[in-house]
Structure 1
Amino acid sequence: MAERWTVGIDKRMCVRTGLCAASAPEEFELDEDGQGHARSAILPASEEVLEVAESCPIEAIGITNADTGERVFPPPVV
């Protein structure tokens, strides 16, 4: 089975740049207030989704492995 990610955007942190939706419109969209969110709560793991999360200027996008619960981004602090 292919890896799946749970992707969430912290609405309190999101500053509405629209970068997520512009960078990956198949995976992210903006609501009526211009706030970004994933089109689906669970997305297939992909380099594109990870790059969008990494490029968010305030790291409002969090990714966890949907099957294990392990945090993918931001990376766990060791």
Structure 2
Amino acid sequence: MGKKEEPMIAYYEDARHFAWLVNGWICQGEKEIDEAQIKPKNIRLTGKTGSGRTARMRSRYRDVFKEIGKVKIVLMIGTELQSFVD
């Protein structure tokens, strides 16, 4: 993880800031999500890559990963902050 991403990760780890992001981006500025609804999730995702002899398990880590629970909907948003596209 680069030094440029660290302040953004710390910022969006705060449930209040993450709620602002979701409300502004997905809910088009309407306050649909409250910070109390946001729960931290495991940021490590593990899966199989390749096939046959080249198959292996690989773990990836997300910078910020939260779960937003409502009565009938669970929305999961994973973000990856980066200073350049690779």
Question: What TM-score, normalized by structure 2, do the two folds share?
Answer: 0.24
Q: Which has the larger radius of gyration?
A: 2
Question: What TM-score, normalized by structure 1, do the two folds share?
Answer: 0.25
- Larger % of helix: which? 2
